[in-house]
Chains A and B, each alone.
Chain A
Amino acid sequence: AQSVTQPDIHITVSEGASLELRCNYSYGATPYLFWYVQSPGQGLQLLLKYFSGDTLVQGIKGFEAEFKRSQSSFNLRKPSVHWSDAAEYFCAVGPLSGPGGYNKLIFGAGTRLAVHP
């Protein structure tokens, strides 16, 4: 069955430090992969997505992610974290075939990032 695992529930980093958030997936074909960010009291905002081609994808706010098929991973990285990056981050995989052929995504449980000054 398709699934997404985010092994780290909470991560704390110092401002200016580098960041890597892990995402592992189980999917029967070449997946489409997404990272979303949720600031407190807000909805989810798309950071970046991978469909095909270059396995290193660039997103907004200075984030990037690398697709590694051999490891079934799509880890999110940022070279230098800012205090405003404190939020919850969700990895998602799709598309799953649903009735009507729609684009169902499965989301991980999220990683909450805290940033120390």
Chain B
Amino acid sequence: GAGVSQSPSNKVTEKGKDVELRCDPISGHTALYWYRQSLGQGLEFLIYFQGNSAPDKSGLPSDRFSAERTGGSVSTLTIQRTQQEDSAVYLCASSLVGSDYGYTFGSGTRLTVV
């Protein structure tokens, strides 16, 4: 697509429920990144995909968080048994590996755990 698309744009969920956040990167971008932006905080790196593999998962905060990418395109970030501290904006970005290192970001998913 023309840009990075994320869905849903807003998600309110009850504590303890599982949620799935979706990212559709720019067509042809082999690199995909998930970041988390908490209120008043900077961007916290979560995970990086190169194609369908995730060489760097070092930012995932706990084993409740997982992500996958299929077909070198769409990625899903899953949070199991959500907690209130998971409330944040989850941003996805994509880029061409080895190009100008700039990322193109989606508009994010605002997750609120009540």
Contacts and interface: CB of A to CB of B under 8 A. Distances in A.
For the residues of A in contact with B, the DSSP-based class is strand
B contact residues, range: 20 to 34
B100 A90 contact: no
B48 A98 contact: yes
Given A94-B101, A98-B48, A109-B41, A43 B106 contact: yes
Contacts, number: 69
Interface in A36-56: 36, 41-46, 49, 51
A104 interface: yes
A34 B102 contact: yes
A114 B103 CA distance: 25
B48 A41 contact: no
Given A43-B4, A49-B100, A107-B42, A102 B31 contact: yes
Contacts of B107: 41-43
Interface of A: 4, 9, 32, 34, 36, 41-46, 49, 51, 90, 94-95, 98-100, 102-110
Q: Which 3 A-B pairs have the closest CB atoms?
A: A100-B55, A43-B105, A99-B55
